[in-house]
Amino acid sequence: MDLNGITPGHLWTFLIVLVGMVEVLAAVYGLIEKVDARREKRDAASKAHANGIDTKISTELAQIRAEINDISAHIRKIDEFLDSDKRRIEALETAQNSASKGFAVLCSSSLALVEHMLHNGNADQLEDAKESLIKYLTEQK
Domain hosting 69: range is: 8-140
Higher pLDDT, 71 or 115: 71
**Long-range contacts from 87-93, C-beta under 8 angstroms, 24+ separation:** 89/9, 89/12, 89/13, 89/16, 90/9, 92/9, 93/7, 93/9
Is residue 3 domain-resident? Answer: no
Total number of domains in the chain: 1
Q: What is the pLDDT, as a whole number, of residue 97?
A: 85
Q: What is the pLDDT, as a whole number, of residue 1?
A: 47
Segment 97-140, tens digit of pLDDT: 888 888 887 877 777 777 776 676 667 777 777 787 777 777 76
Is residue 133 domain-resident? Answer: yes
